[in-house]
């Protein structure tokens, strides 16, 4: 479902003067995690990623759950601490 939504979103991107408009995903909350590489049964996790959070995200007005991987627990804690203290979403831009 997420892949189809991303494909639709990227197809809507505007190309003007050789510039592509970036796509922004709003992360509204962490629904579960952190999970560590050893806990997740997925052999395709890229090297260097150690910690994962499952987040509630908004893409093109639709909400869904998405996994975000981090290089360490410390870097995942930046998001965890953000949502402990604030209700504003974190915006992730994809160029």
Domain positions in the chain are 2-94
Whether pLDDT at 15 is above 60: no
pLDDT tens for 31-83 read: 999 999 999 988 899 999 999 999 999 998 899 999 999 999 999 999 999 99
35: its two tokens: 């999970």
The predicted pLDDT at position 94 comes to 83
pTM of the predicted model, to two decimals?
0.75
Cβ neighbours of residue 34 under 8 Å, at least 6 residues apart? 51, 52, 53, 73, 76, 80
């Amino acid at each position: 479902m997420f892949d189809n939504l991303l494909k639709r979103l990227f197809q809507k991107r505007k190309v003007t003067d050789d510039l592509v408009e970036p796509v922004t995903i709003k992360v509204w909350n962490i629904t579960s995690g952190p999970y560590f590489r050893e806990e997740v049964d997925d052999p395709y996790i890229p090297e260097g990623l150690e910690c994962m959070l499952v987040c509630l995200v908004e893409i093109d007005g639709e909400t869904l759950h998405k996994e975000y991987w981090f290089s360490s627990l410390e870097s995942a804690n930046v998001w965890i601490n953000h949502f402990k203290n604030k209700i504003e979403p974190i915006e992730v831009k994809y160029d």
